Amino acid sequence: MEPFELFCLYYLGLTPKGEYQFVNANQVARHLNWTVAELMQTLSKFQLHPDTVLNTDFPLARHQVDIQIASEREGPASLHGRAERIFREFRASAGKRRDWIKEIEEEKRQDRVRKQV
């Protein structure tokens, strides 16, 4: 399995045929005929382990929702193109650590603004 294909399946829910389906780690591992430990080891090898992705400054959740919504109106070729762009964007952000403190402070600021309205 190539890193792009694994990223698509594990993070975006896109099968190699370009079809969307919500999946979790157990389902991905079963689909690949792997154990979850083998899946996590391969994700680590490709620098795609969930800990790495979570701590990368990349809006993965937004892209996951975009793919899910797009799957209702777009075909496999279009979804595959979207996934390629997302993967390139993710790879470009590799090594850029997420600033959790900044995010928390921004959320607090937004909460204060909302309470004033």
Global confidence as pTM: 0.79
Percentage of the chain exceeding pLDDT 90: 67
Residue ranges covered by each domain of the chain: 3-116
Q: Which amino acid is at 45?
A: K
- Using CA atoms, how far apart are residues 29 and 80, in angstroms rounded to an integer? 21
Q: What is the pLDDT of residue 64?
A: 95
The Cα 67–Cα 110 span in angstroms is 27
Residue 57 is given by DSSP the state S
Taking only the tens place, the pLDDT of each residue in 56-92 is 888 899 999 999 999 999 999 999 999 999 999 999 9
